[in-house]
Amino acid sequence: DQQVKQNSPSLSVQEGRISILNCDYTNSMFDYFLWYKKYPAEGPTFLISISSIKDKNEDGRFTVFLNKSAKHLSLHIVPSQPGDSAVYFCAARKLGNTPLVFGKGTRLSVIA
Amino acid sequence: DVKVTQSSRYLVKRTGEKVFLECVQDMDHENMFWYRQDPGLGLRLIYFSYDVKMKEKGDIPEGYSVSREKKERFSLILESASTNQTSMYLCASSVSGSTGELFFGEGSRLTVL
């Protein structure tokens, strides 16, 4: 049973435009959400996070939106750059010292 | 700069061999994890550890074991490697009681022939 779902395996966006990556979750016990970025042959790196008590968190070109009623979050990248081309993983955490639950990832390609 | 170091970036082993993947972190983190990444399957948790000599099974522990004798070191062991264990293996660590943010190593690409 997949608790964190990224339904789009891939996304292609023109350089300079907005990239929107989506993530849905099923477990209402999740209280913290994170996005990771992964380049080939490297480990994932933390990108941005949001607590369940907020609905938006912004860091430079990256903004994460959380809609708790819909159990949905999205990552917006504006403007998209070729260096943003990577696999993006959505992850969620339940309250307490429990492992993150990851989605399957979305491969973003930013075309120059 | 915080660091999680995996001992081997690339390994090629034969079916039936015993494989050790070593991971060391220098951040004094309590929690350590082993994941594997496969195309279309995302990051799947194999084992994790919240303290020295403690271990917990993740989602796919079959065919693997782990060892945590020191706080900074977490080893993944494939007792008898099989071709379906060909994968990218990722070690990570985190602070206990934190937001859960993981710090990953660069990964170990294992090929089992």
Cα(B1)–Cα(B65) distance, rounded to whole angstroms?
A: 30
Helix, strand, coil percentages in chain A from 3-state DSSP, rounded to 5? 5, 55, 40
- In the predicted model, residues of chain B with pLDDT beneath 50 are none
Q: Which of A38, A42, A99 sits opposite B45 (nearest CB)?
A: A99
Cβ contact B6:B107 at 8 Å: yes
The percentage of chain A sitting over the pLDDT mark of 70, rounded to a whole number, equals 100
Cβ contact A75:A20 at 8 Å: yes
B81: Cα separation from own chain's centroid: 15
> What's chain A's average pLDDT?
95
Cα(B36)–Cα(B38) distance, rounded to whole angstroms?
A: 7
A64: Cα separation from own chain's centroid: 7
Q: Is residue A96 predicted with pLDDT exceeding 80?
A: no
- Using a 10 angstrom Cβ sphere, with 0-12 exposed, 13-18 middle and 19 or more buried, the burial of residue B66 is buried
- Each residue of A27-36: pLDDT tens digit? 999 999 999 9
Residues 9-68 of A with CB under 8 A from B: 9, 32, 34, 36, 38, 41-46, 49, 51
Q: Which of A42, A97, A103 sits opposite B50 (nearest CB)?
A: A97
Which positions ≥6 away from A40 have C-beta within 8 Å?
Answer: none
Measured in degrees and rounded to the nearest 5, phi and psi for residue A11 equal: -150, 135
- Each residue of A24-69: pLDDT tens digit? 999 999 999 999 999 998 899 999 999 999 999 999 999 999 999 9
Single-letter residue type at A55:
D
Average pLDDT over residues A75-98: 93
What's the Rg (C-alpha) of chain A?
Answer: 13
Contacts of B35 in chain A (CB under 8 A): 102
Quote the tokens at residue B100.
């859960």
- What was the pLDDT predicted at B9? 92
- Using a 10 angstrom Cβ sphere, with 0-12 exposed, 13-18 middle and 19 or more buried, the burial of residue A87 is buried
Q: Give the best residue of B33, B101, B103 to mutate against chain A (max A CB count within 10 A).
A: B101
Cβ contact A49:A58 at 8 Å: no
Strand A45-51 and strand A30-38: the pairing is antiparallel
Cβ contact B36:B90 at 8 Å: yes
Alpha-carbon distance A4 to nearest alpha carbon in chain B (angstroms): 11
Cα(A103)–Cα(A92) distance, rounded to whole angstroms?
A: 9
- What was the pLDDT predicted at A24? 97
